[in-house]
Amino acid sequence: MDIYLETERLALRRFTADDADLLIELDSDPAVMRFLSGGVPTAPQVIRERHLPAILAGYEKWGGDLGLFAAHAKDDGAFIGWFILRPGREGPRDEVELGYRLRQLAWGRGYATEGSRALLHKAFTALGVRRVWAETMYVNRGSRNVMEKLAMTLVEGIPTPSDMERVEGAEQGGVRYEITKEQWEQRQ
């Protein structure tokens, strides 16, 4: 396994070209996709032809340091979902987005917080990152809880992207949280 990061209970690794089925299964659960697509699964063809190639291209672009990473439980090796630590499309390399998408069977065990906490540590101590941001829907309480446990600050409300207007709670918009390296150091 091409390990990127380890925590007490999780191992994060780079995806490979053989991982399409893991991503397809994750995005096929309407509960996982509730606040992302309104519960609609991502088409397998889109994952095979667009998402996975883009993930692999990202490792090339950022030397394997940033991107989307598969997370496995260390005790039984099960795939539990993914984490993202990645610059914006046109943004600077030292300002990165944090995100997470976990299989339903892995919810409620503190995994999102554990993986994210380790990613913040890596970002600020080893990757030269100055600011980490995260966005979610206003109504995605589970996701916001993670951001708040990480001591990220709610900085602004953001408009709902046009392709998410039919998602439940879309009329309340989204939220953006941030933490700078200085804030992270102070809040340790």
Ligand X SMILES: CC(C)(COP(=O)(O)OP(=O)(O)OC[C@H]1O[C@@H](n2cnc3c(N)ncnc32)[C@H](O)[C@@H]1OP(=O)(O)O)[C@@H](O)C(=O)NCCC(=O)NCCS
Question: Which residues are at the interface with ligand X (CB under 6 A)?
Answer: 32, 35, 81, 99-102, 107-113, 136, 140, 142-143, 145-146, 149
29: which DSSP letter?
Answer: -
Q: Which is nearer to ligand X, 101 or 131 (CB)?
A: 101
Least separation in angstroms between residue 148's CB and ligand X is 8
Comparison of 108 and 128: residue with beta carbon closer to ligand X:
108
β-strand pairing of 153-158 with 131-137? unpaired
Q: How far is the CB of 187 from ligand X (least distance, A)?
A: 17
Measure the CA–CA gap between 17 and 5, rounded to whole angstroms.
Answer: 20
- Closer to ligand X by Cβ: residue 107 or 138: 107
* Assigned token pair, 163: 């392709």
Please, what is the minimum distance in Å from the beta carbon of residue 180 to ligand X? 20
* Least distance CB 4 / ligand X (angstroms): 18
Chain residue whose CB lies nearest ligand X: 110
Q: What ranges make up the beta strands (E) of 94-173?
A: 95-102, 131-137, 153-158
Provide φ and ψ at 104, rounded to 5°.
-55, -35
Nearer to ligand X, 87 or 174 (CB): 174
CB of 110 to ligand X, least distance (A): 2
Q: Indicate the burial class of 166 (C-beta count within 10 angstroms; 0-12, 13-18, 19 or more).
A: exposed
Residue whose CB is less far from ligand X, 67 or 99:
99
Which tokens hold the place of 90? 């046109």
